[in-house]
Amino acid sequence: MHNFNNFKRFLGVLAVVASLLVIATIVFRMQQEVAPKLAVRKLPVQVDVSLQKFHYTETKQGAKRWELTADRAEYNKKADISYLTGVRMLVHGAGGVGDLEITAQHAEYHNGTRDIALIGDVRGKSDKGYGFFAPRVNYIAARTLLTTAERVRLTDVGSQLEGTGMEYQAQTRKFRLMKDVTALYRQEGK
C-alpha cells in the first residue's frame, strides 16, 4: 500500500514536471519565432512621400506635350519639389518634328512651375537622328525651353556641334549655342 502511494506521488510529480517542460518549450519556441522586422527604408527628414515608378504626363488642349517617368520620386511638401532618380523625359514635338527623349541620372521637378532640372549625364535623342549631351539641363515648362550654362555637344547626321550655354526650343527644335562654338560638317559622307 505504501509503495502504491509512493508510485502515485511519483506519477503526479512526473506529470507536473512534464507539463512544465511542455510550457517552457512552447514559451521558448514563441520567443524564437518573433516575426522578422520589416525592412522599411527610413525617409529623409525633408521627404514627405516616396514613390516607386513615377509617371507624369503634361497635356495642353488635350494633346500630350511631354511625359516624365522616373524609377523613384521623393516629394518634399515644404519645397514643393519632387526629387527624381532614373529619369526619362519624352517631349512630343509640334509640326512633325518627332519626339525627343531625354534621360538623366536625377531630376528636380518643381510642382508649382512644372519646371524640371535634369542633372547628371543628360542625353537627348530625337527620332530624327540628332542628339545632345550635357552634364545639366533645365526645362522651363512655360516656354517649352531647354537651357544649360554648361558645355554641350550636339550630334546630327553629317555634323557635330559644341558650345557653352544652350537654349533649345523643345517644340520646334530650334536651338542657340551661346559661346565658344565649334562645328564640324562632314562632306559626302567623309
Rounded Cα gap, residues 182 and 162, in angstroms: 5
15 lies in the site for other proteins, by CB under 8 A: no
DSSP string, 8-57: HHHHHHHHHHHHHHHHHHHHHHHHHTPPPPP-PPPPPTT-SEEEEEEEEE
Q: How far is the CB of 167 from other proteins (least distance, A)?
A: 9
Which of the ranges 12-20, 64-72, 139-147, 180-188 carries the binding residues for other proteins, by CB under 8 A? 180-188
Which of the ranges 42-50, 58-66, 80-88, 170-178 carries the binding residues for other proteins, by CB under 8 A? 170-178
Rounded Cα gap, residues 174 and 50, in angstroms: 36
Rounded Cα gap, residues 87 and 164, in angstroms: 24
133 lies in the site for other proteins, by CB under 8 A: no
Q: How far is the CB of 177 from other proteins (least distance, A)?
A: 4
Q: How far is the CB of 184 from other proteins (least distance, A)?
A: 5
Q: How many alpha carbons fall within 13 Å on the CB side of residue 120?
A: 10
Among 86, 163, 170, 171, binds other proteins (CB under 8 A): 163
Positions touching other proteins (CB under 8 A) are 95, 97, 156-159, 161, 163, 172-190
